[in-house]
Structure 1
Amino acid sequence: MANNPDDPAMFSVQQQYTHPPGILVSDHYIQPYGYTCYRPQGTKDWLIIYTLSGKGSINNGGRGYLSCTAGTLTLLSPGSVQEYFTDEGHVWEKLWAHFIPRLTWMDWIPSSNTDGPIFHLHIDNESSRRVIESAFWRVISYRLNGDSILWDELTLNALEEVILLVASQNKVNKKLDSRVQEVLDIVSWYYMENILIEELANKVCLSPSRLSHLFREQVGDSIMETLKKHRLKQAEKLLMYTMRPIADIALAVGFNSPDYFSQQFSSYFGVNPSNYRKKFREGLY
């Protein structure tokens, strides 16, 4: 793994990674006033910062500065300006990591919720803070103390926990319409069945067009696109952890045609199902 956050490996979210997923560098900093970092071109990886105490400020892509205080989590995408510093009169204590995400994380990593490129979330709930902090500390502990590929995997798993916890917090903060949430629950539980928008609309007492508009507005994808992604993610688990034939997996997650399943899987994951399974078993994913 790289040991320099200024020498990352990912060119953009949309391109294939030239470096395997992993933690490039991570640490725990306690920095007084005078500490500053400035990378006008950003980096080619992702940067996640969790503030434990004190106060810092971070440039939101030229659209002002965001305050980082206890319980604030900040996420910068590749190529974003990285300018941050400890505020005058404060000591900024933070946990941070530069990382290359697993492809499957991209549906969980939240997009910007500010006027600029940065995702910035203040976590009010104390129990939520504790679990995020605990997972983040494991990221740093595994990376510093491990000396094998299994420790690298533990490090990634700990960061994946952080990403999932942040995604969960972001979902709570969005306060989805109860009817949209009900549709999401149906998709989650009955993804293998033939789901029709008309039936979903009738279930939540909306017209199909109104439900489709409301769902896309709040979720960001159409109902059918969300259903397809959920099916593909379930198929991914079956490919990784079972030896079931690919045609059986396709049918089990709701695809009527194995050929169509392979086409969609390849489009989403960048590799066909059989090669994905092979790479996973070789430890490449």
Structure 2
Amino acid sequence: MNIDRVSQFTGHSNGTVIAGHFHEPDTYMTKRLQGMGDWLITYTLEGEGYFITAGTERICRSGDITLLKPDTPHQYGTRKGQSWHFVWAHFSPQLMETSLLPVEPLLIHSLENESARDRIFQAFRRILADSREQSEYWHELCLNALREILILMAQKNSRKLDSRIEETLHLLSEHMRRPLTIDELAKTVGLSPSRLSHLFKASTGTSIVDTLNQMRIRQAALLLEHTELNASEVCDHVGFQNYNHFINQFRKRFGVSPSVYKKQARNPGRPGT
């Protein structure tokens, strides 16, 4: 079998998932005049493909996800003079909640930041691996990965943020525990520090520093509620370099010190707590 063209069919009593990883020349084409009975989702890794629905051609490029609705007459393939490297999956309509699916016959959704692209690709890789292995709960694992992809798409649509701001938020979350500078973030997302600061505030309503502090305080509250860590240990764990600053930020958010918050969380309703 050509290693650039690998697919897997996975049947199940609750429906089917069919997944594949293709790398196709410009002779590749699929045409279905009656459509098909399931959803098709593709994610383009490199090159260019096309989809034709209702006589209109649309192009999918690197970082684009397409969702094709069941029973939609269509044609798709590799653009002339190009190659098309993509992963794909078919899934039955009854397998996914409709709130995560588009109403239009063909949706093409562009992912511009690298963290989102990598996360989507890793989800597709899990679908392929789990469907091939077919160990216990493989069908549920495939559906969870598909659902993750659709949720990420829905989140991007609801937030409608510049891709560089999305990437900045991801970096803040991923590296919350270590010191981060605006210069470092700006270099990573390809903006000047002043431009990033302005665009971030305009897009989110808060500054980068305030957003990072909010992330840290939310995590600190969870750790105080659900672990045995004390306030000093939590301060260090979430990335604050100064304990007094941590106390001030925590009081600003919750109105009490971390120690009092922990007591209240452990003893709800007790007088004097």
TM-score (norm 1): 0.50
Match of 1:39 among 32, 35, 39: 32
Map 1:265-280 → 2, pairs under 5 A: none
Match of 1:96 among 88, 92, 100: 88
Quote the Cα distance in structure 1 between the aligned partners of 2:48 and 2:96. Answer: 33
Q: Partner of 2:159 in structure 1?
A: 172
- Please state how far the C-alpha of 1:60 moved relative to its aligned partner: 2.5
**1:111 matched to 2:103:** yes
User: Given the superposition, is the C-alpha separation of residues 96 and 152 from structure 1 closer, same or farther in structure 2, using an over 3 Å criterion?
Assistant: same
Quote the Cα distance in structure 1 between the aligned partners of 2:44 and 2:88. Answer: 9
Match of 1:128 among 109, 116, 140: 116
Deviations 1:164-191 (A, max 9, x none): 111112223399xxxxxxxxxxxxxxxx
Q: Partner of 1:263 in structure 2?
A: none
Matched length: 155
Question: After TM superposition, where is structure 1 displaced by more than 4 Å over at least 4 residues in a row?
Answer: 101-104
Deviations 1:32-64 (A, max 9, x none): 1100000111111111011111001110322x1
**1:66 matched to 2:58:** yes
Match of 1:56 among 40, 49, 64: 49
Runs of 5+ unmatched residues, structure 1: 10-18, 176-285
Quote the Cα distance in structure 1 between the aligned partners of 2:143 and 2:125. Answer: 12
TM-score (norm 2): 0.52
> Any idea what SS the aligned residue of 1:94 has?
strand
Contact 1:58–1:83 (8 Å) recurs in 2:
yes
Contact 2:51–2:57 (8 Å) recurs in 1:
yes
Q: Partner of 1:20 in structure 2?
A: 14
Runs of 5+ unmatched residues, structure 2: 1-7, 163-273
Q: Partner of 1:154 in structure 2?
A: 141
Report % sequence identity: 34
Quote the Cα distance in structure 2 between the aligned partners of 1:102 and 1:86. Answer: 30
Quote the Cα distance in structure 2 between the aligned partners of 1:171 and 1:95. Answer: 25
Q: Which has the larger radius of gyration?
A: 2
